[in-house]
Amino acid sequence: MSDSSMNPVTIRSARPGDAPLILELIQALAAYEKLSHEVVATADGLDQHLFGERPYAEALMAEVGSTAVGFALYFHNYSTFLGRPGIYLEDLFVQPEHRGRGIGKRLLAQLAQIALARGCGRLEWSVLDWNEPAIAFYRSLGARQLTEWIGNRVTGDALQALAATAEDA
């Protein structure tokens, strides 16, 4: 049968050459989140940051047959309270036509195995407050929403302005 639902799903670590596929999945995620206008990433930049001299992040790829259908992009953080590293999941995405097959759960389970193998004390991520299907999915896996924490971000001109105050401090 040529039906992709009959093909096995494989999860593997991303490797050099995957950056264009990862970018396609990032763009699909951004479209789903209605944030396409914010994507300025390039395949070359991803390649450098994932596989260059100093990698800043890692990724897992989900494939059906030889087709990339999902990914999890993550990096290490550190908990001073635990005194141990952690893993922050920046993005998790599975193409809509491949959802409901356990691919997202397999990506997260693989990431949990990586976290434990590396001695991490936690695995964490953020989810948009309107994304009820994702919130329900994460809760079904035992995730707890951290409503007492408010995310903060400095980008663009504000980041430049803050950096410029380093000499003044």
74 in catalytic set: no
| pLDDT class of 70 with cuts at 50, 70, 90 | very high
pLDDT in tens, 116-154: 999 999 999 999 999 999 999 999 999 999 999 999 999
Choice among 32, 74, 78, 138 that is catalytic = 138
- State mean pLDDT over 148-166: 94
Up-side HSE of residue 12: CA atoms within 13 Å toward CB?
Answer: 15
Q: What is the pLDDT of residue 2?
A: 43
Measured CA to CA in angstroms, residue 99 lies from 2, 27, 129 at distances of 18, 17, 20
pTM of the predicted model as reported, rounded to 2 decimal places = 0.92
Q: Which numeric CATH code is attached to 4-164?
A: 3.40.630.30
H/E stretch holding 125: strand 123-125
Q: What is the pLDDT of residue 168?
A: 76
| pLDDT class of 96 with cuts at 50, 70, 90 | very high
The answer to whether 111 and 135 have CB atoms below 8 angstroms apart is no
| pLDDT class of 169 with cuts at 50, 70, 90 | low
Q: What is the pLDDT of residue 167?
A: 83
How many whole angstroms separate alpha carbon 50 and alpha carbon 55? 5
In whole numbers, what is the pLDDT of the chain averaged over residues? 94
Domain extent listing, the chain: 4-164
